[in-house]
Amino acid sequence: MENLWAPWRSAYIGKPQSECIFCEKLNSSEDKENLVIYRGNETFIIMNLFPYNDGHLLIAPKRHVGDIEELSDTELLELTKMSQFMVQAIRLAFGNPQGFNIGINLGKVAGAGIPGHLHIHVVPRWEGDATFMAVIGDTRVISEALDRTYEKITGAVASLLKK
């Protein structure tokens, strides 16, 4: 049997979680520790703790809402604008990925890991990133530590905000 080491995940194993991980992170001021990238007026951006690829981000409304039909026009607009902004930031941070998956899973049966708090996934993609490990071994290989990815993305966000 092959071992795939991911020691940074040990901090999350067995840790009790609040009812909503997004609300917990949003209500904390420890953005770096919580991997919060940016806070807008209506939304915030956080890195996925268990990413599909390097740079996998989640964009969520600040308000605890689980369905797209419950969003205000202001929240919906900012979610879309933040998605656009984060594509620009990820392009800058990662040297222009070849594509992106951007989407929402509404409801547990649709794959929502946190069905009570709607969020948009932004996942950068590169040709060949779905290697044999994912197909044969049911394992993803993330090539960069989360703290390094955080620094790259927050640096790109700061650079774009200066323009």
Distances 26 to 90, 122, 149, 162 between C-alpha atoms, Å = 22, 19, 20, 24
Residue 125 lies in a domain: yes
* Tokens describing residue 147: 């703290």
Q: So what's the pLDDT on residue 156?
A: 96
What is the pTM for the complete model shown?
0.82
Q: Does an H or E element contain 80, and which?
A: helix 73-94
pLDDT at 150: 95
Distances (CA, A) of 36 to 1, 2, 139, 151: 36, 33, 26, 11
Give a yes or no: residue 43 inside a domain: yes
Q: Active site residue: 56, 117, 119, 121, which one?
A: 119
State the Cα–Cα distance between residues 39 and 43, nearest whole angstrom. 6
- CATH number assigned to the domain comprising residue 57: 3.30.428.10
Has residue 35 been placed in a domain?
yes
β-strands 57-61, 99-104 pairing: unpaired
Both tokens of residue 160?
Answer: 């774009």
Q: Examine residue 78 and state whether it is found in any structural domain, yes or no.
A: yes
Give the per-residue pLDDT at 96: 86
**Which amino acid, one-letter code, is at 36?**
V
In a domain, 8, yes or no: no
Please report, in tens digits, the pLDDT of each residue of the chain (163 residues total): 455 555 655 554 555 555 799 999 999 999 999 999 999 999 999 999 888 888 999 999 999 999 999 999 999 999 999 999 999 999 999 998 999 999 999 888 888 888 899 999 999 998 877 654 444 445 555 667 888 999 999 999 999 999 7
Is residue 11 in a domain? no
Give yes or no for a contact between 102 and 85, defined as CB atoms under 8 angstroms apart: no
Which residue segment(s) compose the domain that 71 sits in? 18-162
**119 is known as an active-site residue:** yes
* Whole-number pLDDT of residue 135: 45
Phi, psi of 103 (to 5 degrees): -170, 170
Count of the separate structural domains present in the chain: 1
Nearest to 66 by CA among 106, 111, 9: 106
pLDDT of residue 151: 95
